[in-house]
Structure 1
Amino acid sequence: MECPPTRAEAWLEEHEGDLAGLPTADAIALIESAGLRVRVLDRGARLLSPETWDDRVNLRVTDDAVVGAVSAG
């Protein structure tokens, strides 16, 4: 039997299009406005400058439990 998605998983699935292409700070603000927590996991191995890292940031989004990483760009 498959477990139902957590609140974070369900929210991310519903808002995936809203997050695509957003600068990282805006994506984090949108996720946190839903009452979820965000942690930056990795800014990418191909970091060139502070202006380019937004497209490569991996975020971990949680409600009560860690659900996985999502791309904010």
Structure 2
Amino acid sequence: MDTPESTSRTVFRRVVLGAFACIAAVIVLLVGSVVLSATGSSSDPHGYGIFAGILFTAILMPVALALWLLYRSLRRRGK
């Protein structure tokens, strides 16, 4: 039978995984925006989309990595 501690750990692990999935989706959208801006497919005459996409992706990558490592450590600890 599940103890309250293992249930709360499972819920926390799923929340961390959900946060990681959301950030990964945002990173994919930002990279797509950068590619569209770089190829000229979007209406970005000054190229600010390229700089913003690269900057926000660089900020979100360590956050995604930290969430993934936290998820992996919670998963190992649960076994």
Whether these two folds match at TM > 0.5 is no
Q: TM-score, normalised by structure 2?
A: 0.28
Q: Which has the higher strand share?
A: 1
Q: Which has the larger radius of gyration?
A: 2
Q: Which has the higher helix share?
A: 2
Q: TM-score, normalised by structure 1?
A: 0.29
The structure showing larger relative contact order (alpha-carbon pairs under 8 Å, at least 6 residues apart) is 2
